[in-house]
Each structure stands twice: as C-alpha cells, then as structure tokens.
Structure 1
C-alpha cells in the first residue's frame, strides 16, 4: 500500500482534482478533507508538462514526451489546450490527433498515476477551467468529454479564479463581499476575473482572457532576441533553410528552452549569465532587460484588467486586492507593473502555478452537500420539482429508475449548474419513482416537474 493510500479513511470516495494548464498541469488526490499531490512520475515534480509525443504505437505524455521531442520534433505537441475550441486535428508523426484526444492522453496518465498512489480505481474528477469556459462554450463540453473518455465517470468543473480564491493565500482571509481581481498569467494564456467573495461560493462578476498572451510568448520574444544576437554561432547549426527541417525545429526548441531557463533564473536573481553551447560566449540577461522585452505582453494583461473593471462598472478603489497567480506571475516585472498601473494591494502565493489545484482541493470538501430536496403535493401520484440554485441546470443522469423504491434524502438525479458544479436532487420523503418527465441530456428549470412518484 502506498503512503498516500494508507492515509485514506474508510468510506472516503477519492476525487482526482486537476488544473489542466496550457503548458503544465497539476493534480491532487482528494479523500475527505485531506489531499495529496500527484507528482510527475519521471521527475517527481508537482507539475506535469502538458505535452504529448506519438511514438508510432502509443502516446507518451509529460516529461517522457519532452525528452523525445528533439529526436522527432514532428511527433511532439504542446499547448494543445489553445486549439481546444476549433479542435482541428494535427499531424504527429504519421497520424493525426485532435486536441481533445491529446487532452484525453494526459488525463488518462494523471488518473493512472493517482490510482497507483491510491491503490484503487478513481471515477470522479474535479477539473478547473478558465472563467471564459462559460455554458455553451465548446471547450467546456470537450474538457468534460475528454475526462469521461479518460475513465472518469463523474466530472465536475470549477472556474479557475474561484478555485484560486479558495486556496491558501498569505495574509488575512478574504471576507464576504470583498471584490478580488484575479490576475492569472500562465504559460500559454492570460486570464483575469473579478470575484465577489462569498461563504461557500465566489461569484464571478466578469472575466476576460488573452489566449495568445502567456509566459511562452515571453519565451518566444527572448528566443528571438537570442537568435538575433547569436547569429554568428547559431547559423552553422542549421543544415537547411527550411523551417520545417528537423534540424531547424530542434534548434528552435533548444533556443526556446534556453530562453525559458534564463527567465526562470531571473525570478530570484537580478542578473544571469548562462551558456547555450560550451564553446559559445556567455549570454547575459538582467531583470530590467527581461522587463523591457516582456513589456508589450505585460501591458496587454494590464489593459485587459482595466477594461474588465470598466465593463463591470467597478472603480479600482472598490477592489480589495489583486491576487496574482500562474507561473508567469513569478517575474518581478509583473508585481512592479501591477503596482504602477492599478495602485491596488497585491497578494501573491508561494507556488503560483499550484494555486488553482490547491484551491480546488480546499473548496470541494467545504462546498457542502450541494443537494436540493424535491417539493411534493398530497396527491396519490405526486410530481417532483426542485428549487435548483440559479434557476437552471443540465440533467446528467437519473440515479433511481422507474419502479425503484427510495428512502428520504436519497439522491434521485444529478445535475450540472451553469458554473460547472454538480448538485444532487434528493427525495424529501420515501417513495417509489413512477415515471420520468425529463430525460438526461436536457436542460431543466427550477420548480419544473421532472418526475412522478408514489409516496
């Protein structure tokens, strides 16, 4: 029995909590109110590269994919979350894969590793998604479908900004009715959301996103600068002028990885010198150099925030704090720019790339039973209706079949609210389900008759 599985209490139904990111993903195994990370099995790191590699027979994910990308760069893919909306297939080696299929591969690996730690099957998942994945957005449906295809039967979604606000944030706790502006600069995208803090749920008052604005875009700018300044020692490494030539692809990957390494070192050091090749001159970069290079990207994120506040009709002084998360927020230039542009209190977390998964793992056991009891009438055959929170929901499945008896308080059906949370519709009194009036897969409304039952 693994160390984590030995700490699970009997009767705890395990939940796989996943923050599926554009460039990296993180997962935690949740049982009751206790949670443990699901580390990347190759490196032991708390995050998994959101990367895949098709070797002709199977899909490798995470670090295994990263290690193979230079041998066959045409078989490697990353940042496929960006393509989830169109879901257009791409060629990996000699086979085409849709982005949703690549998501399935990574989720399958996360579930398998969590089950290895737990020592038993896991069928429920809580996945954080950007606030822009609203009801009707195809990316939302595809993320759910991918998780189900990965063997996770019950899939719940939680908006990322709601998750991070429930996470461990240094300083005094947020209080109800606080307005919090979440600034989430990830590896592949930028998301911002305005939250009103609540007891069990934080309300998203507005959100905005830049799908082409993240840490990798800053890496690309720095890689371009390295290319331009290092032509003398980079040019001989390219055997073909064609950008699709494997040698050119490998060189591009190597330079981008080098740029990312320099950027990460500058999170803690004012200046860095590093060598791309043993015989190449040292490449020197300072925090002001990086800040100037990243300024176009970072200014777009600040404009995105100020535009969101304007659309929401909220003046900056009404915002209690800015909560900066995402791996990109480690850059010192981010805090400086936010302070200069917004003039608001800024709060950060110790490991910003784990803020969403940790917050989601804290929210789940504190979210309450999330059940609503049926209203009935004194007639012999009574209609069942439910005061669904928010007024509407999507009926996922009936948990009791017609002709089946049930006890009071037993869940009869499960619905998904527009925000992604799952709720169970329960029985107020014991009875027998007589007939279904609403079928799974349809949208239902509060107080609508969903079934008939006999007391």
Structure 2
C-alpha cells in the first residue's frame, strides 16, 4: 500500500491464553508490554467490574476477588458465539476479544504517542476463507478502533520468527509445531524470501498449555488428597460458588507454576499454601503425564504430512513455537517422532508476533497494476495473486481523473492480506462494474475507464 512504510502498524497475535502486540514503523518494531507486569504477553482475560471491562494482568489479579466476573479462553467460544455471564451482564466472545484489542490499541498509542493507522492480526491457519471466525476477528478489531485490518496466517508469521542458528533457506519445507495456550496448530510451509506458502494445516482445538495445566491440577488433587480434602470441604461447606472457584483457580495457578519451573530445573518442590506440605514433581513425571497429549499433537502432524504426501525425511526442519514449546518434553518428543533438525526461538510464546513484525516490511507494497489500458474506453482488470479476492471498497469515484500508479480499489486476498489495485496509466473512471463486498477473480472486468 502506498505510504505503508511510513505508517505505524499494530501487529497483534491474539492467543487463547495470552496475546502479544508490537508497533511496526518501517523496519523497526516496538513491543507493547502489559502495563501492569511489563511482560511482552498479556493474559487473554477480562473482568467486568460492573461499569467497565478490565483486561490483561489486571483482570488476572482481580479474578479471585470476583471469580464470577472473570473470563479467559473466550477465543475458543468464537465459533459457537454464545454469550456468557460476567457479573451482572452477559458478553459474547467477540465483545471480550474486542475489549482486549481495545486495551492493546490504547496502550500502543499511549506508549508511542501516535494513532495507529493499520493493523495486522494473526489467525490460525485453520480459519479458512469461509470460516466465520475470520469475519469475527476483523469485526472485533474494527470495534476496538483498529483500522484497515489485515489477516496473516500464524504459521506464515511464525516462519519469519528470529530462530536460533541459521534461518531456513528459500525452498525449504518447514513443519511448524505450535503448542499454544489453548490450541495446537501445525502447518507445512514452503519458505520463500517474501511470502511463505502454507501447503496444508491441521489443528486440535482442545490441546494446549491450559489442558496441560488441567492434567497437572488433577494430578495434584489426586496426590494431595490428604491435605486438599479439608480445603475442599471448607469451600463446599461455605455454600459459596466464589469460594469453590477460588480454590480451583489456586490449584490451577499452582500447577502452572510447577510446570514453568520444570522447564528450567529437573525437580521442583513447592507449596500451594504456607501450611500445606511440599509438593514434589520431576521433569520425568511431567513428561509421562503429558505424553498422551503430546501423542495427539504428533499424530496430527503425521496425518497432515500423509495427506500432503510429504515424507518426514523431506522436511528441512521442524519449527517449535508457542509457550508449550518451552517444555523439554516437547522437543524430545518431536525429535524422536521425526528425526529432523529442530528450530527454536528464544521466546517461543512471542514467535508469532515477532515473525509477523519481521514479515511486514518484507511483504512489499502489495499493489496490482491493471492488466491493460489504452487510449479509449477500456475495462479495468487485474491479475490477482491466488486467483481470487474480496473487493472491499473503491478508492475513487466515477468521473474522477487519476494519474498512473493511483490506488483504485482495495481487496482482501483469500489468505487475509490487503492489496491495492492500481492504475497502470492515467485515466478517468467512467463507471463501476462490481460493487464492494463482492468476490472477484483474476482478469474479471471491475470498472470502465477512459484513458
């Protein structure tokens, strides 16, 4: 797009359990940390305080005071689009997504002192062209005041992430293994210098870091029956739903803390409460516990490769991304399953947003010149990458003269990218043949122009 390199662009990776954002200006990128913790990731969580929606780490901190007004993992509910009760009101998942995006935009503009002109939102590769969640994500971003919204498949973004060691070479086949907080996604990507091609993808919607936390919380409940039972009885006798919710949250948070510690040390001893016995777990114990879940992810990868008829031996590498990739058990399982070189990033939970920020200045102007124009009344047609797109809006009106290189219309490709259709030579627009919000194809007549 014209002037794209001069515009600040907000790049957002909206995840099931956590989200991340960065502002891109030209080749430079500036992370947008959570204002409460300073972390590069924001919890994808909301808390309704009766008057406004609180998001991120602040919502996490308030969840125990009013657990019935707290929600997380609402991205999983976007397909069903069923409102949920938060305190005294009900909110659709899209409204909760919009609340988080609004906070990301406001913090980005506060930190960098300038309005955001454009937005890139990464989405799972499983959100196909007809998937309603694509439109919901765009609508949520627009409701948050983010304007023109471009979609980028997460595996494409992740493949641009800064990896340790040599970068993938053009033409290399990379299997992206993305174990996020709420879902598992895998994709086979062919590396190119400007635009990586997703050859195929697969996903498991109920397999992520939060599911590992639930497994570990159940294990803690089973192992700690003697000292947890009195707490459970106390919560039940209080006849208070918030009390039971608070205890459940405390055990889940404790499980998460154990999991994170085992990424850095082979054995952990920790305390749920100061007066409860020490809970001990080894890295081997955790690997055994999560083995069935990891087996599901590996089977998903194998089915994808089988469907694409690509032997594992043809893979150049496997890229491990997502917060779950920090677990040593993940790297060990993937290496054993495929016996291919592993590529990793220093901060796997930020791989998608960092990759999208690196992709943006490399993606080019994304303009399409008219196929032919002569000194007469001629139809305007264009060669569209991928063969088809959705015409979003016309940028000029009939009767308006334009010089060569003028953007005439804006389209969204099937992959989610925004491109501008530009005039090859000067002319005057005579009439429009295709209305906005219409699907178009390469070489289709879109308008008539007098050259």
Fold shared per TM-score above 0.5: yes
CA distance in 1, matches of 2:300, 2:91: 33
For 1:296 and 1:377, locate their aligned partners in 2 and report how far apart those are by CA, in whole Å. 61
Report matched runs for 1:178-257 at 5 Å. Answer: 178-238=172-232, 239-240=235-236, 245-257=241-253
- Post-superposition Cα deviations, 1:250-296, rounded to whole Å, max 9, x if no partner, equal 00000000000010001010001111111111111110010011111
Counterpart Cα distance in 1 of 2:171 and 2:418: 24
2:360 is matched with which residue? 364
List aligned pairs for 1:52-91, cutoff 5 A.
52-91=46-85
Give the Å deviation of 1:74: 0.9
In the other structure, the counterpart of 1:302 is 298
Q: Report the counterpart of residue 32 of structure 1 in structure 2.
A: 26
For 2:160, the equivalent position in structure 1 comes to 166
Cα gap change, 1:366 to 1:266, in 2 (>3 Å)? same
CA distance 1:10–1:405, change in 2 (3 Å) = closer
The 1-side partners of 2:379 and 2:34 are apart by 50
Find out whether 1:405 has 2:401 as its counterpart.
yes
> In structure 2, which of residues 337, 340, 346 is the aligned counterpart of residue 350 of structure 1?
346
Distance in 2 of aligned mates of 1:275 and 1:231: 14
Aligned residue in 2 for 1:259: 255
Q: Number of paired residues? A: 447
**What is the DSSP-based 3-state SS (H/G/I as helix, E as strand, rest coil) of the residue aligned with 2:381?**
strand
The Cα shift of 1:380 comes to 2.7
* SS, match of residue 375 in structure 1: coil
* 2:370–2:424 contact (8 Å) kept in structure 1: yes
- The CA RMSD over aligned residues, in Å, is 1.5
Q: 2:110 aligns with which of 85, 98, 116?
A: 116
Give the 3 Å change call, closer, same or farther, for CA 10–351 of structure 1 in structure 2: closer
Deviations 1:379-423 (A, max 9, x none): 632211111111100011111122222111011111010011111
C-alpha displacement at 1:123, in angstroms?
Answer: 3.0
Distance 2:238 2:417 in 1: 49
Give the equivalent residue in structure 1 for 2:436.
Answer: 440
User: 1:309 and 1:294 mapped to 2: Cα distance?
Assistant: 23
Q: Is the 8 A contact 2:20 2:353 kept in 1?
A: yes
**The 10-residue stretch of structure 1 (42-51 or 198-207) with the greater mean CA deviation from structure 2:** 198-207
Shift of 1:170: 1.6
For residue 235 of structure 1, report the CA deviation from its aligned partner. 2.4
C-alpha contact 2:85 2:91 (8 A) present in aligned 1 = yes
Partner of 1:14: 8
Instruction: Establish whether residue 417 from structure 1 lines up as the match of residue 413 from structure 2.
Output: yes
Following superposition, the deviation at residue 440 of structure 1 comes to 0.9
Q: 2 CA distance for matches of 1:439 and 1:202?
A: 31
- Matched residues in 2 for 1:279 and 1:199: separation? 57
* Residues 241 and 223 of structure 1: CA distance in aligned 2, closer, same or farther (over 3 Å): farther
Shift of 1:243: 9.7
Q: How far off is 1:77 after superposition?
A: 0.5
Unaligned runs of 5+ in 1: 1-8
Query: Structure 2-normalised TM-score?
Result: 0.97
Distance 1:150 1:75, change over 3 A: same
Q: State how far apart, in whole Å, the 2-side matches of 1:19 and 1:101 are.
A: 17
Identify the residue that residue 3 of structure 1 maps to in structure 2: none
Contact 2:4 2:365 in 1 (8 A): no
Residue 272 of structure 2: SS of its match in structure 1?
coil
Deviations 1:215-235 (A, max 9, x none): 110110110111122222222
- In the alignment, what sits opposite 2:42? 48
- Deviation, 1:377, is 4.3
Runs of 4+, deviation exceeding 6 Å: 241-244
* Structure 2 partner of 1:319: 315
CA contact 1:129–1:159 (8 Å) conserved in 2: yes
- What SS is found at the alignment partner of 1:120? coil
- Structure 2 residues without counterparts, runs of 5 or longer: none
Aligned in 2, Cα 1:429/1:146: closer, same or farther, shift over 3 Å? same
The answer on whether the counterparts of 1:243 and 1:249 sit within 8 Å (CA) in structure 2 is no
Whole-Å Cα distance in 1 between the matches of residues 430 and 237 of structure 2?
72
Are the equivalent residues in 2 in contact too, given 1:195–1:203 (CA < 8 A)? yes
SS at 1:240 equivalent: helix
